[in-house]
């Protein structure tokens, strides 16, 4: 983990005040312990640039508030401190189009228990989905024995645009009936804790930052290529949501020379050219036109013709499947190249069902990005597949809660109040 505090080390020691200083300082010290701990007091001094006396006073306050405690690792000579991961728990919920996944995590976002159930999101009412989600949260709390731990908060990721401050989805195309539905308020009322709602791709990006392949990356893009296509933008360790929360909606960037109609009302959007649904449609067309022996054989057996089938065909050496994958990769990579030129990330993390079909796909993305970006922007650019798998969204939603409740400001407030969260 590495974010904010570690990257903005503040004034050099000479400029640091000897007294406890502004309350924000305690939040900053906590953030360093959260990102880089376990750490000794002198390591915290080195990383923050604060005076030794300042760090010492604030560590006492954090210990008294129950937020940090000594790391009991055997063999360590100097006492190190870590986040008191067992004082509370958070739950991350990932509402997918075909599943509902929940993870109960400690205060370092390490999963303690998880559950996943099938869901047909397009056919369920928001009330029913929240009832199912509430059942999962309650079951996880019982199962993992939240005993003694407080439920500090719940994070929820949904596949659509979200008004983050209001905690409501906004006109989500794949979630009929969810426009402005009070997701956060409903869950907060039931569980008596803060609830944060965000777009699923944003929470997946947070999951990669804390527990995936983006650890240590300052500014990166997480791109999800599934049925739809979207991106989460992490800027200096934090999600960039944009003015209205719509940042990263790259699935509806128009491609030159393409004319396929998109449900959004425009034509030639990246998603309808290169997304999972597009690959499935292209696979069905190739099978019925007998352009692909592999897909035709699948169709004859009534097997599903989807992105995964195209991936299997490419692996088996079917030329049409390989071309379909390469074309999708080139289209997504072409859009990512523009983002790379504009945003200059150090890393692009690729996730989602289509990306899961194999390294060949990621290679085609990488090739398109490198071919169409400027040499300086790609000088140290890495393109990696997600390492988190199907629970990445739920873990990311847990990270979202932790970012909010353990923010500089909140920790400062908690310590001032002399007790831990809530
Ligand atoms: Zn569109």
**Percentage, residues of the chain above pLDDT 70:** 90
Measured CA angle at 307 (ends 389, 272), to 5 deg: 105
* pLDDT attached to residue 145: 67
Query: Does residue 13 carry a pLDDT above 70?
Result: no
Structure tokens at 266: 């425009």
Give the alpha-carbon dihedral of 281, 282, 286, 287, to 10 degrees: -30
Strand pairing report for 99-105 and 111-118: antiparallel
What are residue 222's DSSP bridge partners?
232, 349
* pLDDT attached to residue 21: 44
Whole-angstrom Cα distance, residue 352 to residue 350? 7
The answer to whether the CB of 158 falls within 8 A of the CB of 175 is yes
Query: Does residue 243 carry a pLDDT above 90?
Result: no
**Pick from 59-63, 145-149, 279-283, 395-399: least confident:** 145-149
Residue 241 has phi, psi (to 5 degrees) of: -95, -15
pTM of the prediction?
0.84
* pLDDT attached to residue 77: 66
Average pLDDT over residues 147-164: 87
Structure tokens at 231: 């991106």
Chain centroid to CA 390: 12
* pLDDT attached to residue 3: 46
* pLDDT attached to residue 245: 84
The Å distance, Cα 228 to ligand 1 centre, comes to: 10
Neighbours of 263 (CB within 10 A): 12
Whose structure tokens read 């069902």?
353
The Å distance, Cα 160 to ligand 1 centre, comes to: 13
Give the alpha-carbon dihedral of 243, 245, 248, 250, to 10 degrees: -100
Query: Does residue 32 carry a pLDDT above 90?
Result: no
The Å distance, Cα 156 to ligand 1 centre, comes to: 25
Whole-angstrom Cα distance, residue 9 to residue 222? 26
pLDDT range class, residue 7, cuts 50, 70, 90 = very low
* pLDDT attached to residue 214: 93
Structure tokens at 103: 């993870």
* pLDDT attached to residue 393: 95
The Å distance, Cα 295 to ligand 1 centre, comes to: 28
The 3-class SS string of 297-317 reads HHHHCCCCCCHHHHHHHHHCC
Total length of the chain: 422
Note the pLDDT tens digit of each residue in 38-64: 899 999 999 989 999 999 988 888 888
* pLDDT attached to residue 17: 36
Whole-angstrom Cα distance, residue 379 to residue 373? 10
pLDDT range class, residue 73, cuts 50, 70, 90 = confident
* pLDDT attached to residue 66: 82
Note the pLDDT tens digit of each residue in 180-208: 999 999 999 999 999 999 999 999 999 99
* pLDDT attached to residue 407: 78
The Å distance, Cα 268 to ligand 1 centre, comes to: 7
The Å distance, Cα 252 to ligand 1 centre, comes to: 4
The answer to whether the CB of 94 falls within 8 A of the CB of 101 is yes
The answer to whether the CB of 361 falls within 8 A of the CB of 325 is yes
* pLDDT attached to residue 6: 40
Whole-angstrom Cα distance, residue 301 to residue 284? 13
pLDDT range class, residue 149, cuts 50, 70, 90 = low
* pLDDT attached to residue 155: 97
pLDDT range class, residue 225, cuts 50, 70, 90 = very high
* pLDDT attached to residue 354: 84
The Å distance, Cα 264 to ligand 1 centre, comes to: 4
Strand pairing report for 229-235 and 238-239: antiparallel
* pLDDT attached to residue 395: 96
Query: Does residue 227 carry a pLDDT above 90?
Result: no
The Å distance, Cα 267 to ligand 1 centre, comes to: 7
Mean pLDDT (the chain, rounded): 87
Residues 6 or more apart whose Cβ sits within 8 Å of residue 358: 311, 314, 315, 325
Note the pLDDT tens digit of each residue in 273-322: 999 999 999 999 999 999 999 999 999 999 999 988 998 999 899 999 99
**Pick from 47-51, 54-58, 246-250, 416-420: least confident:** 416-420
The Å distance, Cα 396 to ligand 1 centre, comes to: 26
The Å distance, Cα 121 to ligand 1 centre, comes to: 20
The Å distance, Cα 306 to ligand 1 centre, comes to: 20
Query: Does residue 165 carry a pLDDT above 80?
Result: yes
Chain centroid to CA 57: 34
- Name the 3-class secondary structure at 100: strand
The answer to whether the CB of 68 falls within 8 A of the CB of 125 is no
* pLDDT attached to residue 263: 84
* DSSP assigned state of 269: B
* pLDDT attached to residue 183: 97
* pLDDT attached to residue 207: 94
Note the pLDDT tens digit of each residue in 230-240: 999 999 889 99
The Å distance, Cα 265 to ligand 1 centre, comes to: 6
Whole-angstrom Cα distance, residue 274 to residue 354? 9
Average pLDDT over residues 143-155: 77
The Å distance, Cα 263 to ligand 1 centre, comes to: 6
């Amino acid at each position: 983990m590495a974010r904010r505090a570690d990257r903005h080390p503040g004034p050099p020691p000479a400029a640091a005040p000897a007294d406890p200083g502004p309350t924000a300082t305690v939040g900053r010290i906590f953030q360093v312990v959260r990102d880089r701990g376990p750490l000794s007091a002198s390591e915290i001094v080195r990383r923050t640039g604060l005076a030794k006396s300042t760090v010492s006073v604030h560590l006492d306050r954090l210990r008294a508030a129950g937020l940090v405690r000594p790391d009991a690792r055997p063999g360590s000579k100097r006492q190190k401190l870590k986040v008191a991961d067992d004082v509370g728990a958070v739950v991350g919920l990932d509402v997918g189009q075909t599943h509902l996944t929940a993870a109960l995590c400690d205060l370092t976002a390490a999963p303690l228990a998880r559950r996943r159930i099938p869901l047909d999101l397009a056919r369920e009412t928001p009330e029913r989905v929240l009832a199912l989600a509430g059942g999962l949260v309650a079951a996880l709390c019982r199962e993992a024995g939240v005993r003694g731990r407080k439920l500090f908060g719940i994070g929820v990721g949904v596949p659509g645009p979200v008004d983050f401050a209001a905690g409501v989805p906004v006109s989500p195309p794949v979630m009929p009936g969810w426009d402005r539905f009070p997701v956060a308020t409903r869950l907060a009322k039931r569980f008596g804790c803060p609830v944060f709602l965000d777009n699923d791709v944003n929470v997946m990006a947070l999951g990669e930052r804390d527990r995936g392949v983006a650890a240590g990356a300052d500014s990166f893009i997480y791109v999800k290529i599934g049925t739809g296509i979207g991106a989460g933008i992490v800027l200096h360790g934090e999600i960039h949501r944009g003015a209205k929360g719509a940042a990263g909606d790259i699935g509806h960037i128009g491609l030159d020379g393409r004319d396929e109609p998109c449900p959004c009302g425009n034509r030639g959007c990246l998603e309808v050219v290169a997304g999972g649904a597009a690959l499935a449609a292209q696979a069905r067309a190739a099978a019925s036109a007998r352009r692909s022996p592999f897909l035709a054989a699948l169709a004859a057996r009534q097997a599903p013709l989807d992105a995964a089938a195209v991936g299997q065909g490419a692996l088996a050496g079917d030329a049409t499947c390989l071309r379909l994958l390469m074309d999708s990769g080139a289209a997504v990579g072409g859009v990512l190249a523009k983002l790379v030129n504009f945003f200059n990330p150090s890393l692009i993390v690729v996730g989602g069902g289509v990306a899961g079909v194999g390294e060949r796909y990621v290679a085609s993305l990488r090739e398109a990005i490198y071919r169409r970006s400027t040499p300086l922007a790609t000088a140290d650019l890495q393109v990696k597949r997600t390492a988190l798998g199907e629970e990445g969204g739920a873990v990311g939603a847990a990270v979202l809660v932790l970012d909010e409740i353990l923010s500089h400001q909140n920790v400062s407030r908690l310590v001032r109040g002399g007790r831990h969260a809530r």
